[in-house]
Structure formats: structure tokens, C-alpha cells
Homo-oligomer: A and B are copies of this chain.
Amino acid sequence: MPKYRKLLYFYFLFFLLYGVFYKFQPIDLIRKYFGEKIGLYFAWLGLYTEFLIPSSVVGIFVFLYGCITIESDIPSKEMCDQRNAFTMCPLCDKFCDYWNLSSACATARASHLFDNPATVFFSIFMALWATMFLEQWKRLQMRLSYFWDLTGLEEEEYNTSIILKLTNLYISLQIMLTFSAVFGVIVYRITTAAALSFSTNETTRSNIRVTVTATAVIINLIVILILDEIYGAVAKWLTEIEVPKTEKAFEERLILKAFLLKFVNSYAPIFYVAFFKGRFVGRPGHYVYVFDGYRMEECAPGGCLMELCIQLSIIMLGKQLIQNNLFEIGIPKLKKLFRKLKDGRTELKEMNTNQSKDPQQWDLDYSLEPFTGLTPEYMEMIIQFGFVTLFVASFPLAPLFALLNNIIEVRLDAKKFVTELRRPDTVRAKDIGIWYNILSGIGKLSVIINAFVIAVTSDFIPRLMYQYAYSQNGTMHGFVNHTLSYFNVSHLKAGTQPENSPFAQDILFCRFKDYREPPWSPNQYEFSKQYWAVLSARLAFVILFQNLVMFLSVLVDWMIPDIPKDISEQIKKEKSVLVDFFLKEEHEKLKLIESFITRDKHKHKSGTKDQRSRAASFCQFNQSQKGSVASFSSQHTEV
């Protein structure tokens, strides 16, 4: 290990306990050894992780609020109450029986953990958190760029608007591949659920939902992980086809493509659960069928938010654990082993020719893995940033899991960079480039997505509406009854009635979760007035939420100046010092030359020792200053 590398490693080990956070990172050392680009990455990662702390804490409190209020939540109590015998319509044709709502008690209670008013507050908090983080990063970047002499660093500009049509086509194809994968999993869920419901085994049938959901999410996860790798290769290949002019152009295009593909890949199943699942089910007697005889899937009785939460947490955790452990540690280890075996053979030959030598540092370093760029590291963190902000309304513990992951991640990254990779070519960079735009885009997208999650996926608005508009006494009592519509079982289509129902004879009406007119209304089963009123309230909430959060973000953006005050003052001071120095030097030079000319004139009269030493000392002064001028000009013009 070279000396510098050793020192760095020592630092990393020393800061094992605190090293995640920007403040405690040996950031200048990282920059000196690895260059500005990698330095900026670690600074960014550190700041991001630091910012995850407050959001984790608030997230934990929001979760705890859910836990504490679970006992006082009237709707879930009503659902669990055995005395409220809500007879629900069968969940599948023919083979499913009528069921009692109280059997879904557990999911109802669990969904209250995430579906409570504190979540609304937390979504607003996280949107502002994202804005604040981006603002603080701008400031930190400014500070680093000042201390690392990058202020004048010019980077090439080029036109990103012309993208070859060919590659766009390919990207569309890839995105369609993702969608078809998501659709495939949906089909899997529907068919498996149907197949299991044929089963005569009682325990199999009672666990259908759990079995299907769990296996489907795992399949989703595996598909995501595999497509992630494929998409990385595809994005690279597509960018190579485009033949960008500069390395920077190449990198930016690659990032944009890879991000687009991986983003769609990671979030498509989550979007499906949040906004589409259970919305095209139809109604009893008039279900929507896919293919032949398979009903569209519904959400669990606790609401789709619970399923969204499960989906989100498993994909987020699974992706992080598997990509971190398996791909980031396992695969490099395997590669190293493979290289060693391969080198072993050539070494044997060399051994014969060159036996006496000790292995040199370059020999040792050569056995390390080559550095392949920061893109995968950033990509992983940006996708995580998406999990933390985009759907945070459904899973307030996301920041906590992200924080835990990063505490491990920083260490693994550090260890990898210092001990397992060859020293990369240092690259100067003024900022984190296109990643900033992507982050800011995710931040903006998160506002509207969270607005829709709260308004449409969660039961927040219907509860509010019930309490203030429909409830008789201003309490939540009767809410569950209010959300369930009536269905006359005699209207079930022939052949879809439950086959083996023990109490089919006693049942006149079954209930289903929707706002529809009752069977005794002239417009039976049409959407009821409540449906439209609740929909209006949901949409009004989206408008209110989005504009409020955007206004607050603009305010935060405006209140935090982009350049830290001390830095801007320092820059100003330096400029005036520089002007003074230039003027002074010009003055001195003039005086010196004048004195030489005067001496030339009175050559024989006054050629004293004193004047000669003055000239020599100026010469010295001049040479020492030359360095600083050169450094100034390089600082302002480095290309």
C-alpha cells in the first residue's frame, strides 16, 4: 500500500464510527488522492446521509404516532368488532364464499400505522426537506469549489436536445419491456390467486392473499434486479451508438438513459399498486375480466396504502441488501478470484524467468480491480432518494432504512475505493453535473405523487369528509358502514354465485367497498353522489397540497442564499487584494525600469552598490510573485 493510501485507510478506519457524515469525512484527503470528482461524490453522500438523520427521526415519530393512536382509531375498531356483521361479497367467482369484514381486522389495524393524519404532515415535511437538501448542497458545492480552486473551472457545453431517433426507439422498447414485466407479475397474481382458490386444502385457501402477495413481490424484486443489470448495459450500448463528441457528453447521455430505464424499472410496480390496482375491478355482478374469466385484482380491505407500503419496503430493502451485499461485495470478490486464477498461470511462467524479485507496489496494485466510474454509486443513491421522497406518504420509515443502508454503504464504498480498486485517474469537476438536475426533478415529482398518494390511495380524505359532512354526531362512528355499498345477491350473474356457501340461503345483500347507489335506488349500482363529492374533495386536496408545498419550497429556496456569506465575502476580498497587487507590481516595475534608465544616463556618476542590490531584490520579489500570478490565471482559465 502506498503511503498516502495507507494514511487514507487509517483515516477511514478511525472514522468508522462517524465517517458517514460530511463533517467527519477526511474530504480534503480524499480529494487530494482521488481527485475532485470522487471528492464531490463523498461530500454529497455525506451531506445526504446527514440530512437523512432528521427525516429518520421525524419518520419514527410519525410511525410511533400511528402505533399509539391505533387503539383509539374508530374505523379499525369498527372493522374488528365482531358484532358489526358486514357480510362482504365473494372475492372470486364461484369458489369464494361470502366473508365477514371482521376477518380483515389485522390488515385494517396495520394500515392505520401508515394511514393517519401525521402522514400528511410528514409528506409536506419531506418535500421541504428535499428542497432544503438541494439548497444546502448548492452551498456546500460552492464552498468546496472555492476551497478546491474550482471557481473558474470551465466545462464544455454542448447541445443535448438532439438525440438520435434510433436510441429513443430502443428506450421505448425497453420501457415497454418493463411494463410487460409488471403486467406479467399482475397476471401471475391473478391466475395464482384463482388457482389457489380452487384448492380444497383449507389452510392454503385462507393464506391465499399472503402467499400471492409475498411471492409476487419477490418475483418483482428479482425482475427489477435482473433488468437493472441489462438496462445498464443497454444504456451504455445506446450511448456508444450515438457517438457523443466529448467524454462529458458521453457520461451525461449515459446517465440520462440509464436513469430513465432504471427509474421506470424500479418504480413501475410501485406506481401500479399506488394508482391503478383495485381501480378497474368493476362491481359485483359486473366485474371487469382480463383474458377469460379472471377478475381484475383488488386491494386488501385495509386499503391499497398497506399493500403499497409492503411493496415499497420489500423492494427498497431487497434492492439495497442484494445490490449492496451481493453485487458490490460478492461480485468484485469473485472477479478478483477469477483474475488471480488467470494470473496464477502467467505468474508461473514469469516465476521461472524472474525468480528472485520481491513483488513491487505496481505489481500489487495491478492485481486490484480497475475503477469503472462513479455512475453506479450515484445511481444507487438517486434511486434511494426516490424511495425516500416519492412515496414517503405511504412509508414514513423509508428515511430510516435509507440512513441505515448508507451507514454501511459509505464504509463499503470507502473500503472498496481504498483497498480493492486501482487508483482511478483523477478527474476535475466543478459540480455533480446532471445528477443535480435529476435530484431536483425527483424533488418536484415527489410533490405531486405524494399529493395523489394521500388523496387517492389513502383513506384520509374519505375519513375527513365523513367526519365533517356525513357523520351524524361529528365522530367517526359509522364510517365503515358508510364506505360499503349494498349489492343484491340475486343480481349475481348465473354461474358466478358461490358454490359451497353454507349460509347462501340467509343472505339477501352483500357489501363491497365503493360509493355506489343501493339496489333499491332507481339508478342502482351507479356511482352515488358521495362518490363524486369525495372525488371532488380528493382532487381539491391535490391542488391545495401541491400549491402549498410549491409555495413553501420557493420560499425556502429564496430564504437560503446560494453562496454562503463567508465565501462570497472572501471572494470579494481576494479580488480587491488582487487588484491592489497588480497595481502595486506595475508601479514597482515602472520605478525599477526608470531607475535603470536613470542609471544608464548617469552611468559613470552614481553606479552605487545600493542600487544594484535594490534591483536584485526586486528581481527576487518578482519571481516569487510570478508563481501566484500563474496560479491565479490558471485558477480562472483551466479548461
Please give the residue numbers on chain A whose beta carbons come within 8 Å of chain B beta carbons, in ascending order: 152, 154, 157, 161, 444, 448, 527-529, 531-533, 535-536, 539-540, 542-543, 546-547, 554, 559, 561, 565, 568, 572, 575-576, 578-579, 582-583, 586, 589-590, 592-593, 596-597, 600, 603, 607, 612, 615-616, 618-619, 622-623, 626, 629-630, 633-634, 636-637, 639
Contacts and interface: CB of A to CB of B under 8 A. Distances in A.
A451 to B, nearest CB: 9
Given A539-B540, A615-B593, A578 B633 contact: yes
A528 B530 CA distance: 10
A600 B600 CA distance: 10
A637 B596 contact: no
- How many copies altogether? 2
Contacts of A561: 157
Contacts of A527: 529
Nearest to A594: B619
Contacts of A630: 582-583, 586
A535 B536 CA distance: 6
A579 B535 contact: no
Contacts of A161: 559
A146 to B, nearest CB: 15
Contact of A154 (B529, B572, B639): B572
Given A157-B561, A615-B593, A637 B536 contact: no
Contacts of A633: 578-579, 582-583
A576 B637 contact: yes
Contacts of A543: 539, 542-543, 546
A639 B576 contact: yes
Contacts of A615: 593, 596-597, 600
B528 A448 contact: no
A572 B152 CA distance: 11
14 contacts: A152-B575, A448-B547, A529-B532, A532-B532, A532-B533, A539-B539, A539-B540, A543-B543, A576-B637, A583-B630, A590-B626, A596-B615, A600-B615, A603-B607
A152 B623 CA distance: 28
Contacts of A536: 532, 535-536, 539
A568 B154 CA distance: 10
A77 to B, nearest CB: 30
Nearest to A440: B554
A568 B565 CA distance: 27
B586 A639 contact: no
A251 to B, nearest CB: 18
A487 to B, nearest CB: 20
Contact of A619 (B583, B597, B636, B639): B597
Contact of A586 (B554, B568, B575, B626): B626
B616 A568 contact: no
Given A575-B637, A576-B637, A593-B619, 7 more contacts: A154-B575, A531-B532, A543-B546, A579-B633, A590-B619, A600-B607, A600-B615
A596 B597 contact: no
A161 B589 CA distance: 48
